[in-house]
Structure 1
Amino acid sequence: MATAAPNEMTSDQGLKTGEHLSDTTDATTQMAIMSISESGAKNPDQEYEAKKKVLVDYFREGPPEFAKLDALRKKATGDTFFMQQRHKADNPDDQLAQGFYDMMKRIGKEMQKCTGALKVKTAGWGKPQILDMGMAPGGFLAVAMELNPGAHAMGFSLPEPAGGHRVMLPDDANIDRRDLDVTMLAEDLGVTAIPSNHPDAGRFVPRQFATNQQQFDLVICGGAVVRKQERASYREAYEAHRLSTSQLALGLERLRPGGTMVVLFHKVEAWGTARELYAFDGFSRVRLFKPTTGHNKRSSFYMVATDVRSRHPRALRAVARWKGIWEAATFRAEGGLLEAMGSGEPGAEELLEEFGEQMVKMGRKVWKIQADALERAPFMRDKRDGSDKGA
């Protein structure tokens, strides 16, 4: 699941084409924040960069776990190591594909042991209902199905011929698998009229969710941008935004009140990540999980949101914001996207005042696991030995 993009199904209805800030925060950053407030965010790109800097400065002056990780990242010489990993992931043989699937199952079991996230507590009706927005290779969904006997699942996965990862989860009558690109679910995301001159005019997918009443007890959002997918040029710079927002919007919108969401993120300290963690904290119980059995050298981790009040006004506003970002990244120019990304966002000071201490508490273990793994990595040992092989 964690590195696949998404899919869907078909319907009769087609698309029409036609804490206060640390006193040590430097003066430049504080002036940037003041400028943002006074200008009404007329330069969204500048605003985004200023917010990002405020967060990183805040964490650098705080938890030792982050300070250690930050220092290790600056020393790391693992470009070759990670490049080789990416090549293997993009061109897996049968053994590697099976190994990736098995690793994701191990991570899923570790997540369940640490958080209990994948076991549905109380099904909304009848059998537990599970939605996996990016299921390939299928390890997380396999664990979830084992933990919830008789569950029904819908899973999206980017087709292999389009660059998606191989789904290794065996076919199951209780799993409705739909091979498609979730970033193209325009109708489900509220767009029914596609401009005839759009580069992807004929590639958007019809509605996949049957009715507004179709809800799920557990939603997994783990799709990641794949490098082998051929995409129209307008998508290249903003595909990560299109993928994350389409998963989040559709996942939360279809989550039964009281349900659970599992979402893949990168870097707790990143502004985009902090913004979404803060948003979820407004209508759910948020915990973070980083596996030790795989991907521990990477910046990725999972947010586990439980007792999600998916009809809370804050949740509804989040869905609307995500849909707006997706729409702007898909149909409008860069300025429209930056405007949509800034719409309804908290300020950096507001976020840190209300959520900074909680982020530190949640992030400590995530940062420690990655720092410990980097410290043990072969490419770090090579540098300490003086050979600096770059791997």
Structure 2
Amino acid sequence: MATVTLNKTASDQVSKAGEHPSDATTQMAIMSISEHGAKNPNQEHEAKKKVLVDYLREASPEFAKLDALRKKASDRFSDPGVLDMMKRIGKEMQKCTGALKVKTAGWGKPQILDMGMAPGGFLAVAMELNPGAHAMGFSLPEPAGGHKVMLPDDANIDRRDLDVTMLAEDLGFTEIPSNNPDAGRIVPRQFGANQQQFDLVICGGAVVRKQERASYREAYEAHRLSASQLALGLERLRPGGTMVVLFHKVEAWGTARELYAFDGFSRARLFKPTTGHNKRSSFYMVATDVQSRHPRALRAVARWKGIWEAATFRAEGELLKAMGSGEPGAEELLEEFGEQMVRRGRKVWKIQADALERAPFMKDKRDGSDKVA
């Protein structure tokens, strides 16, 4: 195959909070796994998600309540003051977790990497909390469909408008198939060859609907974006540093898989804001004391790079193989991480459920036809 070489220089049912899911509940979930087949990555994820959701409905009253409410509502949250809202969320996150204040810089001044900085709220709070810090921030260009960066220019912020899913060389891929529709859009190396490291990495980028993309990217763009952010972020994180990662739905298979992975090399907790986006399914994983050179961390980076490569250059079957490489089965995840998922997810589910229950538009929902994203 012709390639383009990049320029190197550029249980008993749980009825009350606090109870653990019974062995019977876990075993019932595990037994159902074999009933689900899958022909592509999306079907594979949906099958595993069903196992998790069935388990969590039994194990957590908070999740069961939220799951029912999601069937009655659609998330219509909007706020014209999006920068101020994100700043509020950032300050709430700091108050609850201390995530945005660098504890001990690796060298000199704190180094911050924001993989999806627009509109800039989290980075603004982090820079305020870390005087003199240096930051690198990536954002999809506005002409390409990206959101507007609302932060004023700052000499300590190295802002780069680019598509992080196109950082092939930084991901370790220097030869691009010439027949790939995006061969000419690959972004040159952005990180220094001296293994530039950061004390705080924020992975908050989300797929933008209005971005024009090659057709091959439509089905798996979320996988490409997540994999590129996680791989680049963890690989460039100083050992002992902090990662803040945006996720959706604790019970989604892809989310549960990554929470389980981070549990093997960091101290991870979940944060769901109450000052904004509380009706949405989004939440943040705050991973501190991340041992980014731990064998499990290195395996995770390799898996994410493999997912990105398969979703970008290879056939669907290769993507399914890459996504399953090194990941746990649903039975393993439930046995080793199920109770922790319930414990950590309980507050996230409760915050969203309570917000949905109070939402004015919920009063008009009677037929259960709408769903919350």
On the 8 A contact 1:22/1:58 being kept in 2, the answer is: no
Which stretch shows the higher mean deviation, 254-263 or 24-33?
24-33
On the 8 A contact 1:33/1:51 being kept in 2, the answer is: no
On the 8 A contact 1:134/1:221 being kept in 2, the answer is: yes
Q: TM-score, normalised by structure 1?
A: 0.86
Partner of 2:138: 156
SS of aligned partner of 1:202: helix
On the 8 A contact 1:25/1:54 being kept in 2, the answer is: no
Unaligned stretches of 5+ residues in structure 2 = 1-5, 11-19
On the 8 A contact 1:20/1:349 being kept in 2, the answer is: no
SS of aligned partner of 1:336: helix
Alpha-carbon separation, structure 2, partners of 1:133 and 1:179: 11
Partner of 2:175: 193
The structural deviation recorded for 1:51 is 1.9
SS of aligned partner of 1:67: helix
The structural deviation recorded for 1:211 is 1.9
Q: Of the candidates 9, 16, 26, which is equivalent to residue 13 of structure 1?
A: 9
Alpha-carbon separation, structure 2, partners of 1:49 and 1:172: 44
On the 8 A contact 2:29/2:52 being kept in 1, the answer is: no
Partner of 1:312: 294
Q: Of the candidates 38, 52, 62, which is equivalent to residue 55 of structure 1?
A: 52
Q: Of the candidates 194, 198, 216, which is equivalent to residue 216 of structure 1?
A: 198
Alpha-carbon separation, structure 2, partners of 1:388 and 1:185: 40
SS of aligned partner of 1:292: coil
- Asked if 1:363 corresponds to 2:364, the answer is no
| Aligned CA-pair RMSD | 2.6
Which stretch shows the higher mean deviation, 255-264 or 372-381?
372-381
**1:130-141 equivalences in 2 (<5 Å):** 130-141=112-123
Partner of 2:16: none
Q: Of the candidates 92, 97, 120, which is equivalent to residue 102 of structure 2?
A: 120
Partner of 2:14: none
Cα shift readout 1:139-197 (whole Å, capped 9, x = no counterpart): 00000000000000000000011100000011100000000000000000111001111
The letter for the 1-side match of 2:72 is K
**1:79-118 equivalences in 2 (<5 Å):** 81=76, 85=78, 96=80, 99-118=81-100
Q: Of the candidates 279, 289, 296, which is equivalent to residue 297 of structure 1?
A: 279
On the 8 A contact 2:137/2:159 being kept in 1, the answer is: yes
On the 8 A contact 2:145/2:211 being kept in 1, the answer is: yes
- Asked if 1:75 corresponds to 2:72, the answer is yes
Which stretch shows the higher mean deviation, 371-380 or 127-136?
371-380
Partner of 1:263: 245
The structural deviation recorded for 1:65 is 0.5
Q: Of the candidates 248, 259, 264, which is equivalent to residue 230 of structure 2?
A: 248
Inter-CA distance 44–236: structure 2 relative to 1 (3 Å threshold): closer
Inter-CA distance 54–21: structure 2 relative to 1 (3 Å threshold): farther
Cα shift readout 1:277-309 (whole Å, capped 9, x = no counterpart): 000000000000000010000000000000000
Cα shift readout 1:98-140 (whole Å, capped 9, x = no counterpart): x101100000000000000000000000000000000000000
Alpha-carbon separation, structure 2, partners of 1:328 and 1:343: 12
Q: TM-score, normalised by structure 2?
A: 0.90
The structural deviation recorded for 1:49 is 3.5
On the 8 A contact 1:21/1:353 being kept in 2, the answer is: no
The letter for the 1-side match of 2:239 is P
Alpha-carbon separation, structure 2, partners of 1:140 and 1:323: 26
- Asked if 1:30 corresponds to 2:12, the answer is no
The structural deviation recorded for 1:23 is 2.5
The letter for the 1-side match of 2:280 is R
- Aligned-residue identity in percent: 85
Alpha-carbon separation, structure 1, partners of 2:369 and 2:316: 40
On the 8 A contact 2:40/2:316 being kept in 1, the answer is: no
Inter-CA distance 389–233: structure 2 relative to 1 (3 Å threshold): closer
Cα shift readout 1:74-95 (whole Å, capped 9, x = no counterpart): 222x37x36xx4xx8xxxxxxx
Inter-CA distance 103–31: structure 2 relative to 1 (3 Å threshold): closer
Alpha-carbon separation, structure 2, partners of 1:363 and 1:339: 29
The letter for the 1-side match of 2:68 is A
Alpha-carbon separation, structure 2, partners of 1:204 and 1:327: 13
Inter-CA distance 360–374: structure 2 relative to 1 (3 Å threshold): same
Alpha-carbon separation, structure 2, partners of 1:45 and 1:333: 14
Inter-CA distance 181–57: structure 2 relative to 1 (3 Å threshold): same
Alpha-carbon separation, structure 2, partners of 1:104 and 1:113: 14
On the 8 A contact 1:133/1:155 being kept in 2, the answer is: yes
Partner of 1:343: 325
SS of aligned partner of 1:275: helix
Which stretch shows the higher mean deviation, 155-164 or 374-383?
374-383
Alpha-carbon separation, structure 1, partners of 2:229 and 2:290: 16
SS of aligned partner of 2:192: coil
What number of residue pairs does the alignment pair up? 358
Alpha-carbon separation, structure 2, partners of 1:288 and 1:388: 30
The structural deviation recorded for 1:50 is 3.1
Which stretch shows the higher mean deviation, 332-341 or 47-56?
47-56
